[in-house]
Chain A
């Protein structure tokens, strides 16, 4: 499960299943993309991509319907 806590440090923190690729260039992002797809792959990247795929496969409805006028 994502959202594991680390309470061993001075400051507890929550680690996401999503990896931080915000600083990568597009070239870096796809440099080793051919290695993807092994269902036995337990790497953080593989887990992150499976979670993303599950998210897309079960999209929630848009949150709509707020009556802002009284």
Chain B
């Protein structure tokens, strides 16, 4: 007898054009459908492993429900949060948990739910919008306990006023997306399954997250405005798409290797850097449609960051080469598009500034190297060769910069209030900025500011380490030290 059922199943496949379209952030409907099928395959394979390990009546109950209501069961199993549950349950079973404590009872709950006639309005809460003939409907998930597994603390169930605010913002975001980046809006309509409101992070203004186990779910705090929601949804659905691609193909040989990411203050694994570049690809495409100073700044900043981060990725698999090559093919032509020189200076400066502050924060100069640098300074010699060590961060660090905040205010035309060096820098007075920064060498941002305003090519962590090693009594000119290491 030949192979049947699961043993006869064929691999998921993507045409070369489909994989390239995903890399470029322009997948068509058939490619999105393949990703949705891949999600269902993943959920079913996880479920199969759970059934093998747990051997409870819960799976049998679900299989019986499927015979009675196959489409409904299939729909419930395809939901993003089912992926979260299945991954968690199987991990627990493999760690030795009993079926009960691993939560296999959830399958019986789904079986019971599948047998109930479908409510007219599914689960009560939805966000819907329609604009220019394009419609989107997603579930607003604010009660399922599994929503807490998406990486950020969820809000409590929304009250009517909060729900209405979300709906208003969602409709506004949808208008923006359809008008400005309609193909991206079509992707969202095809993939976004549910939105999970999460608590606002006081350090991050607007924050959002995606779990690799929850393809099609986005966790996001109540946005400041429709633009923030539009950009947040574009960003997060890209993470989901990349997760879906990685269900199918490994893209990196060493996904855990730490390096520089333009979007975070902490070192990130290569997989996170790829995620950042891919998520910002469509964010950049959105800002490309705006001609106001802030929009142009975001466009100029992120086009360069995406191109650099993706271009610097090493250890790509063949599928990764194809995917990232298509990503670069999309973003690189944008680098030549004109941007107001004043805005461009600030955008390029923001990217340099971030990298300099990242170096100061994460590249550690050991005591012996710092002492060697200090000795060379005292003797009037050139700096000795020193290789700082990248230190993993103890926790997630979102980008935080007073200079960047000031830049945003300038571009918005708002009154400026801040440190003298930063005020001078954003206004383009590099001489005044340098004078201010050199007076404050205890501040990491001031070291970065000296390199930035001085137009220098320097490793600021070396200057800062040598300065500290020299001690208070010697008190060298910090600007001279920056020039010394440049």
Chain B residues proximal to chain A, CB less than 8 Å: 4-7, 9-17, 19, 37-38, 40-42, 44-49, 51-52, 59, 62-63, 66-67, 70, 73, 87, 90-91, 94, 150-152, 204-213, 219-220, 223-225, 228-229, 231-232, 235-236, 239, 247-250, 255, 263-264, 269, 271-272, 275, 279, 294, 298, 317-319, 322, 396, 398-399, 408
* Interface pair B16/A63, CB less than 8 Å apart: no
Known: A16-B12, A30-B51, A68-B220. 7 other contacts (CB 8 A): A18-B11, A25-B66, A29-B47, A30-B59, A65-B264, A69-B228, A70-B294
* Interface pair A68/B42, CB less than 8 Å apart: no
* Interface pair B223/A65, CB less than 8 Å apart: no
Contact with B along A42-70 (1 / 0, CB 8 A): 01110011001100100111111111111
Distance of A40 Cα from B395 Cα, bound (Å): 40
* Interface pair B14/A20, CB less than 8 Å apart: no
Shortest Cβ gap from A48 to chain B (Å): 7
* Interface pair A24/B207, CB less than 8 Å apart: no
A45 proximity list for chain B (CB < 8 A): 6-7, 9
A17 proximity list for chain B (CB < 8 A): 11, 248-249
B269 proximity list for chain A (CB < 8 A): 60
* Interface pair B275/A63, CB less than 8 Å apart: yes
The size bracket of the interface on A is: 35 or more
Given A16-B38, A24-B6, A65-B264, also A60-B212 (CB < 8 A): yes
Distance of A30 Cα from B47 Cα, bound (Å): 9
Chain A residues proximal to chain B, CB less than 8 Å: 1-5, 11-22, 24-34, 36, 43-45, 48-49, 52-53, 56, 59-70
Given A3-B319, A52-B45, also A59-B6 (CB < 8 A): no
> Which chain B residue shows the least CB distance to A36?
B52
Distance of A18 Cα from B9 Cα, bound (Å): 10
* Interface pair B399/A33, CB less than 8 Å apart: no
* Interface pair B16/A65, CB less than 8 Å apart: no
Distance of A12 Cα from B322 Cα, bound (Å): 12
Q: List 14 A-B contacts (CB under 8 A).
A: A2-B249, A14-B319, A17-B248, A21-B9, A26-B73, A29-B6, A30-B59, A48-B45, A52-B46, A63-B151, A64-B151, A66-B279, A67-B205, A67-B399
* Interface pair B212/A62, CB less than 8 Å apart: yes
Shortest Cβ gap from A47 to chain B (Å): 10
Distance of A45 Cα from B420 Cα, bound (Å): 64
Shortest Cβ gap from A18 to chain B (Å): 5
